[in-house]
Structure 1
Amino acid sequence: MADSKVETISRLAQWRIENFGPCTYKKSDPFKVGIWNWHLTIEKNRYLYIRLFPEPSRASKEQPPIARFVLRVSTTGANRRPYISPIHERLLRTSDDFVWPVDSTFLGRFVIDVEFLDLKICPLNGGEANSIWPTDGTMQSLAAQSALRCLGRMLDEGIHADVTINTADGTLKAHKAILSASSPVFQSMFLHNLREKESSTINIEDMSMESCMVLLSYLYGTIKQDDFWKHRLSLLGAANKYDIADLKDSCEESLLEDINSGNVLERLQEAWLYQLRRLKKGCLMYLFDFGKIYDVRDEISNFFRQADRELMLEMFQEVLVVWKPA
């Protein structure tokens, strides 16, 4: 039947009813919105009952929709008066999941609009439902991924690279703009009439080429977690030297995660050298609050010979606090 067809455009579906008697039931042809085929039905009893539901299929069974939508019913012609539903949001599986009773008489010709505000897939194993339509956050994420791919190519392929970095065992190519945006120290090098500006060369000879490449991959947004973990001590030194605050914070957080008897004294020295308050506190707690100072007694003498006097004083004060008589 001609009046069983539902027209769709974008997220709007429209069903034009040409003839509807006082005691009639009608079901629309299937119409596609999102990844599902849908049906509308109307039934006249005391009220006009409108139902919306997905057509039984593999998609509706394995990926049932959570629909957020508005229904409008209006007469045709110049005096078109809409009867508008509230915004509904619910999981739809069958024709029993949603019914809207319209307390109004619509006979003859009228129009039903369904405007889908959002469609989400309900995960059968629990978890958060995900929209099938891109949101602002999704587009931002896609744009960020595209930008990172471009930056990665710039670094890996040396596209329009304009600065050379001399490391302890090799040279690398990079971009002044990226370095300057990431570090005020690099920015100052290229802003003022320093040697680096004139020669377009930076000497980072306290880092190996491998660890410096990991530093660059962080600045270009393409760093891998395993590389960060492997080179975090070198990255910490570079972050401190070039005033890259977020990298310094990330290194400190990472070094806090795996303190043990084999590295606690080294971590304490690094914390003191780079003024990492949380890491220093964590190391002192590990040694004294948790009593692990006894596990490093063979190494402690050598540590004290090299440690800063203020650090030794702070450790001594920590001993007094922990072993203070009750």
Structure 2
Amino acid sequence: MNHPKQVPVCGEEQVGVRAALPGPGRLAKEQPPLARFLLRVSWAGPPRRSTASPVYEQLLRSSDDFVWQVDVMSHGRFTIDVEFLDLRISTNNATEPSSSIWPNEGMVQSVASKSTLGCLSRMLTESIHADVTINTTDGVLKAHKSVLAACSPVFESMFVHDLREKESSTVDISDMCVESCSALLGFVYGTIRQEQFWKHRLSLLAAANKYGVADLKSCCEESLLEDISSGNVLERLHVAWLYQLEKLKKGCLTYLFVFGKIYDVRDEIGGFFHHADRELTLEMFQEVLSVWKPI
């Protein structure tokens, strides 16, 4: 890119500004850069004058993408400046274009995220300015009202309205042990370990549904989908129905009827139907009809 470019002009004429763009290579053709730029034209004078274009944001495929009509009469020599405000190139592994002008932009965000997680981890593990006590079935944990409220509309309601939790700064979670509640706080504060998540998936799912932590609920559903087996499919199906997990429910029904695993659980199916919701039983029957169509 010529920057700046001096172009001699003879006589007075209306100026059309065009910056020279080299012929695009194969990569530029497949992934043309997205640029934010403005064009600036200045005349040496006398008197010295200049004018600037609006800020453009567009894909750069050819020189035609740098055209700007300047409605002034001019003579003599003038200079064209192309000022890039940003230049981004999409990559196959990234949904957002990456900046080629500020290549460390993503690194700064990554460092900032890690630093924030480190701070949150210390806040939790060292109870730094903790202002709420959580009572579980077998132990007590400390946390922060602001963090809990930010992740859960239920916790936010507890601490905003004149409820007991607000006045006493205490939350009773009587359906979780201290270990599974620690996993819940680990997810909220971004410090949960994979093995911790796997061990407490069902408890975390129940808590996510109860307290409205949508991201955790989605993670639990995706995880439970990954290891459906004959030994747990009926339990997973019940869980899917209980917490309105459509993907998990569909996965269980497919496992049972499309893959023919219903025969592997025939000893348990009677007890399952005895306690299953009527609508769930109807869905299972409809799934049977859709798979075993008459020839």
> What is the CA distance between 1:286 and its match in structure 2?
1.9
Name the CA shift for 1:91/1:223 in 2 (closer, same or farther; >3 Å): farther
CA distance in 1, matches of 2:51, 2:286: 78
- 1:251 equivalent to 2:220? Answer yes
Residue 122 (structure 1) shift = 8.8
Matched, 1:239 2:239: no
**Contact conserved, 1:167 with 1:208, CA < 8 A, in 2?**
yes
TM-score, normalised by the number of residues in structure 2: 0.64
Cα distance in 2 between the residues matched to 1:270 and 1:325: 32
Give, in whole Å, the separation in 1 of the partners of 2:132 and 2:294.
61
C-alpha distance 90-170 of structure 1, shift in aligned 2 (>3 A): same
Partner in structure 2 of residue 11 of structure 1: none
Amino acid at match of 1:113: D
Aligned to 1:154: 123
Q: Which runs of 5+ in 1 are unaligned?
A: 1-37, 54-64, 93-97, 99-103
CA drift of 1:269 comes to: 1.7
Contact 1:73–1:84 (CA under 8 A) maintained in structure 2: no
Distance change in 2, residues 1:116/1:297 (3 Å): same
In 2, Cα distance between equivalents of 1:258 and 1:220: 27
**Considering only aligned residues, what root-mean-square deviation do their CA atoms show, in Å?**
4.9
Report what 2:252 is aligned to. Answer: 283
Aligned partner of 2:147 in structure 1 is 178
Between the aligned partners of 1:84 and 1:202, the Cα distance in structure 2 is 59
1:61 counterpart residue number: none
1:24 matched residue in structure 2: none
The equivalent of 1:80 in structure 2 is 49
1:74 and 1:112 in contact (8 A); partners too: no
Partner Cα separation in structure 1 for residue 293 and residue 219 of structure 2: 35
More helix by share: 2
* Identity of matched residues, %: 58
Report what 1:260 is aligned to. 229
SS at match of 2:130: coil
Match for residue 98 of structure 2? 130
Which one has the largest radius of gyration? 1
Q: Alignment length, in residue pairs? A: 268
The equivalent position to 2:239 in structure 1, one of 243, 246, 270, is 270
Q: Which runs of 5+ in 2 are unaligned?
A: 11-17, 22-32, 67-73
- 2:15 aligned residue: none
Following superposition, the deviation at residue 138 of structure 1 comes to 6.7
Change (3 A) 1:69 1:241: closer
Deviation at 1:81, TM superposition (A): 5.5
For 1:86 and 1:201, locate their aligned partners in 2 and report how far apart those are by CA, in whole Å: 54
Distance 1:223 1:106, change over 3 A: farther
What is the CA-CA distance between 1:258 and the residue it aligns to?
3.8
* Distance verdict in 2 for CA 1:112–1:193, change over 3 Å: closer
| 1:308 alignment partner in structure 2 | 276
Query: Which residue is 2:264 aligned to?
Result: 295
Amino acid at match of 2:245: L
